[in-house]
């Protein structure tokens, strides 16, 4: 997290506030966060005899790269201000202001939590974000540091509320589970949004603009990670959709189990039905689906229920695709993997990446 210290009357800091300064600059030395202040404040802090030599070293390090550091708040859209003048937190959408005295508790300075619906999702976002973020340049000088936390699927909102209560800086990433671009978000995303609205602590939420994380994994990466013929067939389907201007189908189909026309007919969300009627017509144009079924919005065949290959919208990768992919990511040298992460400029994965990098931004560890 980028943390901007605003210290007025630096000679009048209480013991608690001085401990807060110590903890915040230690968190820089330990590679946990990035704490900045204006140049005069940093210089004045060098005369603070109460600070440890490691914290002072961290302040000297900030001064040595001050022009780079001072520019960060213009580059980063979400950061925290910590002030010696504030008794209560104040917040707007992208800025939080917190009392310095709170940070006398070193627990508040521990690593940012990267929370997702399970550890595989969290790992995938942690892996892809530094590569895909628009802040890749900043990461030559800085790094990201995070603690991966498992939300446990439908308990993710409860975990989010818990870590916010514990005053842990958190970025939470969830699936939308939407059946189409215009359909409503499902329970986990909605509940997480409600937690964030009520939250009195800097936590950020990114609900992906896709059904699940599987919809955002580049198909070439899935293919590289597994020999499963099912997964390869699904990767081919997804590539076809992406190459033929059928992006919403690729983003909002069930890519774990696959999607057949019969499933679409069972949807009850009116926006999802309206979206799929339009998408269905486009798929008919590509020879993928039977025009009669789309027109009647029910199966017009004699022997099946539109759950056959001829009525396939997209094949499924298989439910274990992401866990296999993560095991493969952990085992392979990243140099070979990074080129497979090429995603379109407007990919929701890039939006997630920017948020993850901003919330998890950290100094590189300084050796004592």
Q: Which of 62, 195, 306, 315 binds Zn ion (CB under 5 A)?
A: 306
Q: What separation in angstroms does the CA of 81 have from each of 24, 109, 127, 128?
A: 12, 14, 28, 28
- Is 38 or 307 the residue whose CB approaches Zn ion more closely? 307
CA–CA gap between residue 237 and residue 50 (Å, rounded): 63
Query: How many helices (H) and strands (E) are present in the chain, helices listed first?
Result: 16, 13
Cβ distance to Zn ion smaller for residue 39 or 277: 277
Q: What minimum distance in Å lies between the beta carbon of 258 and Zn ion?
A: 15
List the one residue from 301, 320, 338, 366 that touches Zn ion (CB under 5 A): 301
Q: Of 7 and 293, which CB lies nearer to Zn ion in the complex structure?
A: 293
Please give the full DSSP string across 125-174, using - where no structure is assigned: HHHHHHHHSTTTTGGGT-EE-EEEEE--GGGHHHHHHHHHHTT--EEEEE
Shortest CB 362 distance to Zn ion, Å: 53
Interaction of residue 290 with Zn ion, rule CB under 5 A:
yes
Q: Kindly tell me which of 212 and 288 has the beta carbon lying closer to Zn ion.
A: 288
CB of 274 to Zn ion, least distance (A): 19
Nearer to Zn ion, 189 or 306 (CB): 306
Per rule CB under 5 A, count of chain residues that contact Zn ion = 7
Residue 324 is inside which H or E element, if any?
helix 321-331
Other Cβ atoms closer than 10 A to 270: 11
**Is residue 283 close enough to count as binding Zn ion by CB under 5 A?**
no
In the set 42, 311, 315, 326, which binds Zn ion (CB under 5 A)? 311
Residue 124 or 276: the one with the smaller Cβ distance to Zn ion is: 276
Does residue 353 sit in helix, strand or coil? helix
Q: By C-alpha distance, which of 55, 63, 65 is closest to 32?
A: 55
Taking the complex as a whole, how short is the minimal distance between the CB of residue 164 and Zn ion, in angstroms? 47
Nearer to Zn ion, 34 or 311 (CB): 311
Q: Which of 115, 249, 299, 353 binds Zn ion (CB under 5 A)?
A: 299
Report the distance separating Cα 146 and Cα 136, nearest Å.
Answer: 17
293 binds Zn ion (CB under 5 A): yes
Which of these ranges, 17-25, 218-226, 254-262, 280-288, lies near Zn ion under the rule CB under 5 A?
254-262
Specify which residues 95 forms β-bridges with. 79
Least gap, CB of 74 to Zn ion (angstroms)? 54
Residue 110 Cα distances to 94, 227, 339, angstroms = 21, 40, 32
| Residue 282 binds Zn ion (CB under 5 A) | no
Give the whole-angstrom CA distance, residue 174 versus residue 124. Answer: 12
Please give the Cα distance from 23 to 105 (Å, whole number): 8
Place of tokens 């975990």: 159
Q: In terms of Cα–Cα distance, which of 96, 23, 37 is closest to 88?
A: 96
Least distance to Zn ion, CB of residue 255, Å: 20
Nearer to Zn ion, 135 or 312 (CB): 312
C-beta of residue 18 within 8 angstroms of C-beta of residue 129: no
Mark the segment that binds Zn ion (CB under 5 A) among 172-180, 284-292, 315-323, 338-346.
284-292
Residue with smaller CB distance to Zn ion, 77 or 298:
298
Contact letters (x/-) for Zn ion, 212-251, by CB under 5 A? Answer: ----------------------------------------
Tell me how far apart the alpha carbons of residues 15 and 168 are, in angstroms, rounded to a whole number: 23
264 binding Zn ion? (CB under 5 A): no
Q: How far is the CB of 265 from Zn ion (least distance, A)?
A: 9
Nearer to Zn ion, 306 or 359 (CB): 306
Least distance to Zn ion, CB of residue 269, Å: 21
Contact (CB, 8 A) for 317 and 255: yes
Q: Which residues bind Zn ion (CB under 5 A)?
A: 261, 290, 293, 299, 301, 306, 311
């Amino acid at each position: 997290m980028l943390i901007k210290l605003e210290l007025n009357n630096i000679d009048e800091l209480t013991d608690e506030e001085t401990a807060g300064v110590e903890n915040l600059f230690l968190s820089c030395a330990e590679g946990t966060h990035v704490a900045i202040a204006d140049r005069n404040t940093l210089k004045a802090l060098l005369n603070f005899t109460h600070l440890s030599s490691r914290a002072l070293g961290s302040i000297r390090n900030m001064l040595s790269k001050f022009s780079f550091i001072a520019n960060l708040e213009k580059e980063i859209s979400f950061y925290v201000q910590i002030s010696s003048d504030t008794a209560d937190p104040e917040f707007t959408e992208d800025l939080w202001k917190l009392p310095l005295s709170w940070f006398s508790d070193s627990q508040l300075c521990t690593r940012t939590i990267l929370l997702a619906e399970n550890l595989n999702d969290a790992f995938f976002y942690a892996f892809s974000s530094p590569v895909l973020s628009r802040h890749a340049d900043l990461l030559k000088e800085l790094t990201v540091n995070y603690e991966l936390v498992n939300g446990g699927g439908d308990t993710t909102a409860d975990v989010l509320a818990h870590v916010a209560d514990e005053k842990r800086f958190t970025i939470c990433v969830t699936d939308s589970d939407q059946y189409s671009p215009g359909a409503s978000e499902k329970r986990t995303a909605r509940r997480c949004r409600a937690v964030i609205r009520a939250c009195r602590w800097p936590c950020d939420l990114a609900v992906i603009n896709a059904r699940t994380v599987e919809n955002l994994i580049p198909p070439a990466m899935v293919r590289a990670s597994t020999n499963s013929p099912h997964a390869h067939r699904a990767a081919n389907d997804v590539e076809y959709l992406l190459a033929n201007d059928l992006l919403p189908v690729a983003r909002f189909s069930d890519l774990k189990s696959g999607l057949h026309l019969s499933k679409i007919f069972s949807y009850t969300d009116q926006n999802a039905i309206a979206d799929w009627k339009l998408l269905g017509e486009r798929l008919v144009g590509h020879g993928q689906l039977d025009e009669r079924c789309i027109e009647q919005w029910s199966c017009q065949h004699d022997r099946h229920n539109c759950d056959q290959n001829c009525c396939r919208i997209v094949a499924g990768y298989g439910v274990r695709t992401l866990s296999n992919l993560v095991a493969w990511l952990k085992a392979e040298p990243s140099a070979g993997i990074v080129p497979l992460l090429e995603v379109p400029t407007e990919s929701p994965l890039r939006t997630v990446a920017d948020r993850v990098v901003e919330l998890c931004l950290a100094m590189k560890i300084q050796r004592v």
